[in-house]
Amino acid sequence: MSTSLKSVALSHLERLPRAPASDLKKLGWRGVMKAIRSKGKLLVTNHDEPEAVIIPAAEYDALMQVVAQSEARAELALEDLRQSFDKRLSVLQDRSAATRLRSSMSSRIRLGGKVKVGASF
């Protein structure tokens, strides 16, 4: 994890209620679940270093749904980009593409101090 991502993640962890791993061993599973019910989530530490976050299953499921939706949006955006790219490249499949390319390469181009770019060039 990069330093900036780590610092962002740790800043969120600082706000969570904490419990040392040794306390969890003493409390047992019932004690852990009681703490989760009362506090909502729990940061487990080992020698004061964050080790794990325990959250209710429903909250985990909600987080995973957000992740799945985000991935789906990213995939749709990527597919749109692919289609746009393929559409622009499809002109190379035209029968006259080779002739047009040879023609443009063999003729002198007068730029007049400007760069020619875009789909029409």
For residue range 38-71, list pLDDT tens digits in order. Answer: 888 999 999 988 999 999 999 999 999 999 999 9
Beta pairing partners, 54: 42
Buried/exposed code over 59-91 (b: 16+ C-beta within 10 A; e: otherwise)? eeeeeeeeeeeeeeeeeeeeeeeeeeeeeeeee
Give the pLDDT score at 82.
Answer: 95
pLDDT at position 79 over 90 = yes
Whether 118 has a pLDDT exceeding 70, the answer reads no
Residue with tokens 């393929």: 86
**Both tokens assigned to 30:** 């019932």
Most confident option among 3-12, 48-57, 61-70, 83-92: 61-70
Query: What six digits make up the tokens of 33?
Result: 């679940």
Which residue in this structure is represented by tokens 């007049």? 112
